C-alpha cells in the first residue's frame, strides 16, 4: 500500500517533522496538516450530519443533504475530499482544534448565511457611483494568493455609503464572497488584504459608519475563519496608529502576526508590500508597476 507523508514546519525553524501517513485524498494544502489536525478533522467529520441538522432544522433530510460553502460541496455521505478537508480545517484552526467549538462555529456560520441570504446579496446590483471605488481585487502575491484592497476613502459621501447600513453590509459580504471565488482550496486558501485609509479622519466617521464597521467586523470574525494570510493597514492616520498600539497587547499573537501598520506614500508602502507582491502585480499608487485602479 502506498503512503504519503504529510509534513509540518516546526515553530523552531528545524526541518519538517514527518506526520503519520494517511489514506486521505490529498492536495498541496492538506499535505501541510499535522497529525493533531488530522485527528481533529476525522472527529469533526463524524459530526457533520449533526451540524447540518442543527443549521437547517426546518429542512427535510438536512442530515444527508449536500451543501455548498465557498464553492466547495460538502456532502455528508462523502466527506473524503481534499477541498472539503481544507474548508473544515478552517473552522477547527479558528477554534484551536477544539472539535466542539469548531462545530458550534460552523453551525453558526451556516445559519447566518441562510438568514443573511448570502446568495441573494451576491446577485444584487450595487450602485457603482457609491461602492465602485471602495473595493478592488487586483493581482496576486508571489505565492498565488489574491490581493484585495479596501479603500476606505474611496467615497467621501458617507450618507451615500452608510446611509443604509444593511445595504453596505450586503455589498461588503458580496465583495468578500467575490474575493473567495479566487481561492481554489487546492493550492491557495487565503488572501492578502490591504486596507487603505487615505483621506480618512476621525471627523469623517459618523454613527452609521461606526455601526457598519462593527457589524462587518463581527460577521467576518465569526463566519469567515482563516481566510486571511496577511493584512496591511496603509496610509494610516497617526491617531489610528496610536489606537492599534494601544490594543496590541489584547490581540492574539496569531492575529497580530498577520497584521502590519504601514505609513504613507508609494515608496514606504512599496517597501512593505513588495516582499510579498511582485512589482508587476502591485498598483503604481502603492509602489508597484501595475496599471490598476
Domain end call among 116, 142, 173: 116
- 25-48 pLDDT tens trace: 999 999 999 999 999 999 999 999
Please indicate, yes or no, whether residues 163 and 269 belong to a single structural domain of this protein. Answer: yes
Average pLDDT of the chain is 90
- Domain check: are 111 and 130 in the same one? no
With cut-offs at 50, 70 and 90, classify the pLDDT of residue 15: very low
Q: Do 220 and 280 belong to one domain?
A: yes
Residue 78 domain-assigned (yes or no):
yes
Q: DSSP for 208-265, please give it.
A: HHHHHHHHHHHHHHHHSTT-EEEEEEES--HHHHHHHHHHGGGS-HHHHHTEEE--SS
Rounded Cα gap, residues 113 and 6, in angstroms: 33
> What whole-number distance in Å separates Cα of residue 148 and Cα of residue 166?
22
Same domain, 257 and 136: yes
The answer on pLDDT for 87 being more than 90 is yes
pLDDT digits (tens, 9 = 90+) for 99-158: 999 999 999 999 999 999 999 999 999 999 999 999 999 999 999 999 999 999 999 898
**43 and 137 part of one domain:** no
Give the range among 65-74, 94-103, 161-170, 204-213 with minimum mean pLDDT. 204-213
Per-residue pLDDT, 2 = 37
How is residue 133 annotated by DSSP? T
pLDDT (0 to 100) of residue 120: 98
> What CA–CA distance (Å, rounded) separates 116 from 154?
26
For the residues 197-209, what does the mean pLDDT come to? 81
Query: 202's torsion region: left (phi>0), alpha (psi -120 to 50) or beta?
Result: alpha
SS3 of 6, please? strand
Flag whether 49 is in a domain: yes
Here the CATH number for the domain that contains residue 211 is 3.40.525.10
Mean pLDDT to the nearest integer, 182-189:
98
Enclosing domain of residue 232: 126-286
121 lies in some domain? no
**Same-domain status, 277 and 185:** yes
Buried b vs exposed e over 67-105: b needs ≥16 C-beta within 10 Å? bebbebebebeebebbbbbbbbbbbbbbbebebeebbeb
Residue 190 within any structural domain of the chain = yes
Residue 206's pLDDT is 81
End of a domain among 74, 97, 116? 116
Q: Are residues 210 and 137 in the same domain?
A: yes
Does 233 map to a domain? yes
Q: Is the pLDDT of residue 251 over 90?
A: no
Residues 11 and 101 in one domain: yes
Query: Is residue 161 in a domain?
Result: yes
Last residue of a domain, one of 116, 136, 157: 116
Domain count, the chain: 2
pLDDT of residue 8 exceeding 70, the answer is: no
Amino acid at each position: 500500500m502506498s503512503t504519503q507523508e504529510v509534513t509540518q514546519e516546526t515553530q523552531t525553524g528545524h526541518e519538517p517533522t514527518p506526520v503519520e501517513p494517511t489514506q486521505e485524498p490529498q492536495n498541496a494544502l492538506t499535505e501541510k496538516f499535522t497529525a493533531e489536525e488530522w485527528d481533529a478533522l476525522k472527529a469533526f467529520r463524524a459530526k457533520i450530519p449533526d451540524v447540518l441538522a442543527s443549521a437547517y432544522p426546518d429542512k427535510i433530510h438536512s442530515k444527508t443533504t449536500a451543501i455548498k460553502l465557498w464553492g466547495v460541496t460538502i456532502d455528508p455521505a462523502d466527506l473524503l475530499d481534499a477541498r472539503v478537508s481544507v474548508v473544515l480545517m478552517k473552522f477547527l484552526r479558528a477554534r484551536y482544534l477544539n472539535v466542539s467549538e469548531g462545530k458550534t462555529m460552523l453551525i453558526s456560520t451556516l445559519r447566518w448565511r441562510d438568514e443573511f441570504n448570502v446568495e441573494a446579496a451576491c446577485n444584487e446590483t450595487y450602485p457603482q457611483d457609491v461602492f465602485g471605488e471602495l473595493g478592488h481585487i487586483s493581482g496576486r502575491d508571489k505565492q498565488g494568493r489574491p490581493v484585495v484592497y479596501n479603500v476606505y476613502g474611496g467615497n467621501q459621501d458617507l450618507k451615500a455609503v452608510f446611509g443604509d447600513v444593511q445595504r453596505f453590509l450586503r455589498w461588503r459580504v458580496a465583495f468578500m464572497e467575490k474575493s473567495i471565488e479566487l481561492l481554489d482550496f487546492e493550492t491557495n486558501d487565503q488572501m492578502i488584504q490591504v486596507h487603505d485609509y487615505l483621506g480618512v479622519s476621525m471627523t469623517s466617521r459618523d454613527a452609521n459608519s461606526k455601526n457598519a464597521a462593527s457589524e462587518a467586523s463581527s460577521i467576518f470574525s465569526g463566519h469567515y475563519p482563516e481566510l486571511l494570510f496577511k493584512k496591511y493597514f496603509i496610509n494610516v492616520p497617526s491617531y489610528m496608529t496610536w489606537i492599534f498600539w494601544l490594543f496590541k497587547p489584547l490581540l492574539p499573537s496569531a492575529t497580530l502576526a498577520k497584521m502590519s501598520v504601514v505609513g504613507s506614500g508609494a515608496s514606504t508602502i512599496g517597501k512593505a508590500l513588495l516582499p510579498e507582491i511582485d512589482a508587476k502585480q502591485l498598483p503604481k499608487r502603492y509602489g508597484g508597476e501595475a496599471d490598476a485602479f
